[in-house]
Amino acid sequence: MTRGAFIVVEGVDRCGKTSQTMKLVESLQQKNIKAERMAFPDRTTWTGQVISNYLADKNCKLNDQAIHLLFTANRWENVEKMKEKLSSGITLVVDRYFYSGVAFSAAKGMSIDWCLQPEIGLLKPDKVLFLRIKSDTQKSRPGFGEERYETSVMQQKVNKIYDKFSQSEDNWKIIDANSSFDEVHEDLLNNIVESVQNVANSNAPFKYL
- Residue (13 or 126) nearer to ligand NYM, CB: 13
Would residue 96 be called left, alpha or beta, if left means φ above 0 and alpha means ψ between -120 and 50 degrees? left
Contact 205, 124 (CB under 8 A): no
The H or E element spanning position 201 is helix 181-202
- Residue (162 or 196) nearer to ligand NYM, CB: 162
Nearest-approach distance from CB 44 to ligand NYM, in angstroms: 12
Nearest-approach distance from CB 2 to ligand NYM, in angstroms: 28
Nearest-approach distance from CB 110 to ligand NYM, in angstroms: 11
Which residues is 8 bridged to in the sheet? Answer: 94, 128
- Please list the alpha-helical segments (H only) found in 9-151: 17-30, 46-56, 64-76, 79-87, 98-107, 112-116, 135-139
Nearest-approach distance from CB 1 to ligand NYM, in angstroms: 30
- At a CB cut-off of 8 Å and minimum separation 6, what does 152 contact? 135, 139
- Residue (104 or 172) nearer to Mg ion, CB: 104
Quick check: 13 binds Mg ion (CB under 5 A)?
A: yes
Q: What residues make contact with ligand NYM under the rule CB under 6 A?
A: 13, 40-41, 55, 71, 95-96, 100-101, 104, 147, 149
Residues lying near Mg ion in the complex (CB under 5 A) are found at 13
